Amino acid sequence: GQNIDQPTEMTATEGAIVQINCTYQTSGFNGLFWYQQHAGEAPTFLSYNVLDGLEEKGRFSSFLSRSKGYSYLLLKELQMKDSASYLCAVRDSNYQLIWGAGTKLIIKP
């Protein structure tokens, strides 16, 4: 079966750095996405990786290793507004997105 694993919840301190991991086992691979979802709101796109390596976008970076079935989202200089759930999703061989359950990130002052 297809599976996306992420930690359920993480806590970090304002101004610090946090890394959210995602491991996947899917039928085929056509890219990995990270989305942010604030409580009660819709998911919004953060990043996309299809090749191995690091993609940097401001305070957020995303890393992919296809051979290991592994990705992480790195958030730097954490702000209170970064408190949200972070969803990892993999596009499979049918070009459908398979979603992880999300990681709830709690930022403390």
Choice from 12, 78, 89, 107 touching other proteins (CB under 8 A):
89
Q: Which stretch binds other proteins (CB under 8 A): 20-28, 57-65, 70-78, 84-92?
A: 84-92
Strands 9-13 and 103-108: parallel
- Of residues 43 through 62, those in contact with other proteins by CB under 8 A are 43-45, 48, 50
φ, ψ for residue 80, nearest 5 deg? -60, -35
Distances in whole angstroms, Cα of residue 58 to Cα of each of 52, 61, 63: 19, 7, 14
For 14, half-sphere exposure in the C-beta direction (CA atoms, 13 angstrom radius) is 5
Choice from 98, 103, 105, 107 touching other proteins (CB under 8 A):
98
Name the residues that contact other proteins, by CB under 8 A.
Answer: 4, 30-31, 33, 41-45, 48, 50, 87, 89, 91, 95-102
